[in-house]
Amino acid sequence: MSTSSSASEMLDSEFLGMRCRLIDLAASLDRIDRSDGAPPADPRMAQIRRGLEILAGDAPDRAVRVQLEFSLPYDSNLSPLAPRP
Amino acid sequence: MYFIEPHIHIASRTTDDIQAMARAGCVAVGEPAFWMGYDRSNVGGFYDYFRQLTEWEPKRTANYGIRHFAWMGLNAKEAENVPFAREVIALLPEFLDKPDVLGVGEIGLHKCTKNELATLRELIELALGRDELLLFHTPHLEHKLMGTRMILDLLRADSRVNRDRVWIDHCEEHTIRLVRDEGYWAGLTLYPTTKVTPERAVDMIEIYGPERLLVTSSADWGPSDPLAITALMAAMRRRGHEESLIRRIVYENPLTFMRQCRRFDFTPPQ
Ligand SMILES: [Zn+2]
């Protein structure tokens, strides 16, 4: 199921919002840079960078892939079905 | 258009919110028991909260023509102390027998610990033993995928589970398919930053279809919007969806799910 809009109609309606969110993100990164001290070697910064790489690519399902980037891996030992030690 | 808000914490909202919901077309709400923002110090705190959900909040919404249904449960954030949790679980049958209680919820996982899982097993046992509807809260943010998969594993192992009668809530792009593929009801939560926006909810409706899908505000004491359903309706209209599909999502689907509760007695306006 999808709407009847063409891709260019969809771009028309999404463009300003996308532009705004991208500038917001750029400004957040700048704000971190301008804060005291060196940019933190924090794994969250690497997650943000990998998220941006997903956006820059052409592959589909970007939202799912960004979500997975921010998810802990599923440890099957934690599964309630795993044999109990 | 009328709508039903199947997941909202009315106890955390003002009467002005209830009035605004009524004016916007809300005719019924579902209120799951949850974490009120602090850990209760004794089992009496839970007893009073369950009374609030079954006695006082229904009166508050009825003043504005909104029918109130509750869910009884123990949230994962207060499930870590298993003996204490057991005392709370012992209170639940008395409340599950009340006429406007839909089932056991919201229950689930938070940090996905062994103790949370132990408490969750007991809650599921209570629900299945009484043939109650089940509402699961899936964890936030980085724990969501892990917690959703643990809940699905737990349910898959129990042959008594009727998947039509189970709602797995707070699904997002990376978990909705897991839930729907196994035949459960999936819930989407419209939160400003931590869950999904109306536009992303419409994306998922377009990708997965309206079958077994519920969309809610889950509005509580944190940043949330009790009128979020109306934002979803507006987003669906903006994207060119038929009124019949909007009605299905915000009205017929919640009714279909809630009607499975043997105590559910509600004549919906047409
Ligand atoms: Zn909730």
Q: What is the DSSP string of chain A?
A: ---S--HHHHHHHHHHHHHHHHHHHHHHHHHHHHSSSSPP--HHHHHHHHHHHHHHS--S-HHHHHHHHTSPPP-GGGSTTSPP-
CB atoms within 10 A of CB A55: 13
**How far is A39 from chain B, CA to nearest CA, in Å?**
23
**Mind telling me how many Å the CA of A58 is from chain B's nearest CA?**
18
Contact A72 B146 (CB under 8 A): yes
Q: Do B206 and A4 touch (CB under 8 A)?
A: no
- Say if the Cβ atoms of A80 and B157 lie within 8 Å: yes
Q: What pLDDT score does B269 carry?
A: 85
Q: How many CB atoms lie within 10 A of CB B95?
A: 19
DSSP symbol at B260: T
**Pairwise CA distance, residues B254 & B250, whole Å:** 7
Q: What is the mean pLDDT of each run of 10 residues along chain B (270 residues)?
A: 98 98 98 95 97 98 98 96 97 97 97 95 98 97 95 96 98 97 97 89 97 97 95 96 98 98 91
Q: What is the pLDDT of residue B70?
A: 98
For chain B, the structural domain boundaries read: 3-258
- Per domain, the residue ranges of chain A are 7-33+41-72
Q: Name chain A contacts of B143, Cβ cutoff 8 Å.
A: 72
Q: Which of A13, A71, A75 is facing B144, going by the closest CB pair?
A: A71
d(CA A69, CA A54): 9
- What per-residue confidence (pLDDT) applies to A41? 85
Ramachandran angles phi, psi of B216, nearest 5°: -140, 165
pLDDT (0 to 100) of residue A38: 72
Longest dimension (CA), chain A: 57
Q: Residue B270: its pLDDT value, please?
A: 75
Q: How far is A59 from chain B (nearest CA, A)?
A: 16
Architecture of the domain made up of B3-258: Alpha-Beta Barrel (3.20)
* Interfacial B residues in 63-122 facing A (CB < 8 Å): 112, 117, 121
Q: Is B161 on the interface with A (CB under 8 A)?
A: no
For position B252, what pLDDT does the model report?
Answer: 97
Under-50 pLDDT residues of chain A: none
- What's residue B192's pLDDT? 80
| pLDDT confidence of residue A83 | 66
